[in-house]
Structure 1
Amino acid sequence: MYVGSLAERPVGVLQGGGLSSTALGIWLAEQGIDAHHLIADIGQAPPAELEAIVAAWRAQGVPAALVDLRAPMAALALDLVRYQARHDGGYWNTTGAARLVLVEHLAPRLVAEGRTVLAHGCVGGGNDQRRFARYTARLAPGLDVYAPWTDPAALRRFPGREAMLDAVQAAGLPLDEGSGADWSTDASLAGASHESAALEDLGVPVDARTLRPRWSRWPADAPDDPHTVTVTVAEGRITDIDGSGPDPVAILRRAGELGARHGVWLRDVVERRIIGTVCRGVYEAPALEVLGAAWRRVLQTSLDQPSRALYEQLSGTLGAAVYEAWYADPAAVSARTALDALLERASATVTLTLHRGTARPTAVDVTASGALQQTRFGTGGNRWREPLAVAV
């Protein structure tokens, strides 16, 4: 889809404040396109920063609105933990999850407003372009999708990120703190992905010289003293961490604060992308790394061996579904339904020790699940578990 076909069509822009999506807004304004910008709050920045982005677009004469999507983003993030829906190299694909949240909750709003085109600023030909296309086709089939960096006219105007940055600065528009000419960060409550010219080189180490974490401390800079935290799981769902209470946003916030403070956050993987390239993926997900460590201990105490084998198979299916953007398709929905059934009785309280980049389970209370714990040595060496019926 090219810009010439947008002249008489109302466009909805998914605007996050990153460099390429801000450049998209400038490009549409320059072409006189009727565009309404929706800025989604998925926990990527403080609300005041997102409100500043809205105000800046309105000051340019462009309609803009802030939409709070923190609750669905947190709910999906906890499902990633619940289903262990990780991808190549074992990382949490928080970017792929965020694309689903954006389309699922913003596309219906665009349709209700009479918008007929959804526009996003993701790189042409990349994973995210495919994710927006797939989810829009499934969840809002009446919307067309405009991906500007596949449009020759847009590419002539913005041949690279340097030209985008010049235009954004000239317009006086604010940028997300994770965006620049040579680096990009895509963030949400669930975590952040980091990309840059340096990180693309697989021979370059990921360290303080090549990566600035969005929220987290490097393990060497974390506190000397270990920190003990408890995670509560009831009937297959995380209901509390360190006194957070059951609200998913509060759980993600608290887990993220703890992981970031204690250096539990980094995944540096070499991934195989949808488009066929091999590249480095650098992921900062302190909340999911902490919660994931507790969840794996819950699985060990809650599932028998055949159930655990099926769980692992379906987890891999869902990890691919999040990455490849078919999480809303029947196969993924069926996998989630099956996992929900397996996890109905999964209940435990896990104690974790967080210390300089590690989250180590140190104790687990399975009283709530009714699991039978071995008590052979604690009962004299001749009884395997308690309670034990004794004939009289």
Structure 2
Amino acid sequence: MAQGAIKKVVLAYSGGLDTSVILKWLQEEYGCEVVTFTADIGQGEELEPARAKAQAAGVKEIYIDDLREEFVSDFVFPMFRANTLYEGAYLLGTSIARPLIAKRLIEIAAETGADAISHGATGKGNDQVRFELGAYALNPEIKIIAPWREWDLLSREKLMAYAESRGIAVEMKRDGTKSPYSMDANLLHISYEGYDLEDPWVEPGSDMWRWSVAPEQAPDEPTTIEIAFEQGDPVAIDGQRLSPAELLAELNRIGGANGIGRADIVENRYVGMKSRGCYETPGGTILLKAHRAIESLTLDREAAHLKDELMPRYASLVYNGYWFAPERKMMQAAIDQTQQVVNGEVRLKLYKGNVMVVGRKSETNSLFDASIATFEEDAGAYDQADATGFIRLNALRLRVAGRKRG
């Protein structure tokens, strides 16, 4: 797009090196006004410095929004109702945050009269797809500027040189050091990529992890907790009702202290390459186990099995950026319908990286009937002779085929 084609752009802004350079680059290359948007989704960092940096860059409209409750209630919890895992291992902590950020970018663009949005995702990653698919779904006419697909500042050294030449302050971490990894954090997880992780044979250093102790260093005594569910969503820990964001934060704390939630994954990116990443998802790891446990008690067999068949497709939709697509919404409606009966409590034992279900109950929706399932005398609740006809009918096709082979 030529200079002058964009009058005002909303930038997803963290105040770090990349987005600080992008802010200045947009002002220079497009000659446009920049609105900054910084989202608090539980990354655990002070966000007010981003305001000061934006003001120093001449930004007049600065948005710093606390989206933690919306993030967990409207994005994380719906995803967990589906028991979502991408490629059997990834709890989608980064993926599920992107549609919320895209949604808010579009809202701010409408509020401020901006005709474009911009983000700092690279041209090699999934986030560019997630941001832009979400934005186009919500506003088909929005213009999107992706600097990493336009500029030649394709290394950290070039970015640093650009920042220095424009007087852009680049702060180190408070202790004077900076992690060598590319990191992304929110209330669901923290991710690590790059540096020595680019060799999938190299074990991550023990000093990389931020949220959890190593399992071997976790307490020698297990921690037992109870999680209550209402219509598929967790609402309380050990009898104490918490808001969605508070509950997930507390599970992160408890899980991290017990060495829970570390994952080392090589995943298939939507853009075609394989990527190695490490993730800490303590609360999410606990929630997945607990949710499946309460479903095992309350969901009809075929409904549960159909959910399991749908889950990999649902996970791919979230991973690839189709949160606002009609097929994801259709699947969500079906999944949510099953959750009306998912009510009750689950008791879990947390020990050195492990999450063990040790009890589950539902006063209103349990389908477990001890009088039928018992190994003792069942007083006629189940006629075992009925199994004979059941087996013979199901074996009929196998017997016919066997005779043909014989």
TM-score by length of 1: 0.88
Is the aligned partner of 1:103 residue 2:102?
yes
Between 140-149 and 239-248, report the one with greater CA deviation: 239-248
* 3-state DSSP of counterpart to 1:90: coil
Corresponding position of 2:146: 147
* 3-state DSSP of counterpart to 1:295: helix
Q: How does 1:304-323 map to 2 (within 5 A)?
A: 304-323=300-319
Is the aligned partner of 1:65 residue 2:60?
no
Q: How does 1:200-349 map to 2 (within 5 A)?
A: 200-208=198-206, 212-349=208-345
Q: How many residues align?
A: 375
Corresponding position of 1:390: none
Is the aligned partner of 1:366 residue 2:362?
yes
Is the aligned partner of 1:353 residue 2:349?
yes
- Quick one: structure 1 residues 6 and 74, their matched pair in 2 at CA, closer, same or farther if it must change by over 3 Å? farther
Amino acid at match of 2:209: P
Tell me, in whole angstroms, the C-alpha distance in 1 between the residues paired with 2:381 and 2:70. Answer: 42
* 3-state DSSP of counterpart to 2:47: helix
Tell me, in whole angstroms, the C-alpha distance in 2 between the residues paired with 1:118 and 1:180. Answer: 29
* 3-state DSSP of counterpart to 1:37: strand
- Structure 1 residue 378: Cα displacement: 7.4
- Counterpart of 2:159 (choices 164, 174, 177) is 164
Gaps of 5+ in 2: 383-406
- Structure 1 residue 250: Cα displacement: 1.1
- Quick one: structure 1 residues 24 and 371, their matched pair in 2 at CA, closer, same or farther if it must change by over 3 Å? same
- Quick one: structure 1 residues 336 and 208, their matched pair in 2 at CA, closer, same or farther if it must change by over 3 Å? same
- Structure 1 residue 243: Cα displacement: 4.6
Between 110-119 and 5-14, report the one with greater CA deviation: 5-14
Is the aligned partner of 1:113 residue 2:109?
no
- Quick one: structure 1 residues 107 and 245, their matched pair in 2 at CA, closer, same or farther if it must change by over 3 Å? same
Structure with greater Cα Rg? 2
* 3-state DSSP of counterpart to 1:87: coil
Percentage of identical aligned residues: 27
Amino acid at match of 2:158: A
Between 212-221 and 314-323, report the one with greater CA deviation: 212-221
Amino acid at match of 1:258: I
* 3-state DSSP of counterpart to 2:287: helix
Q: Is the 8 A contact 1:165 1:180 kept in 2?
A: no
- Counterpart of 1:187 (choices 172, 182, 185) is 185
* 3-state DSSP of counterpart to 2:44: coil
Amino acid at match of 2:20: T
Corresponding position of 1:129: 128
Q: Is the 8 A contact 2:299 2:367 kept in 1?
A: no
Tell me, in whole angstroms, the C-alpha distance in 1 between the residues paired with 2:173 and 2:23. Answer: 14
- Structure 1 residue 33: Cα displacement: 3.4
* 3-state DSSP of counterpart to 2:101: helix
Gaps of 5+ in 1: 387-392
- Quick one: structure 1 residues 216 and 173, their matched pair in 2 at CA, closer, same or farther if it must change by over 3 Å? same
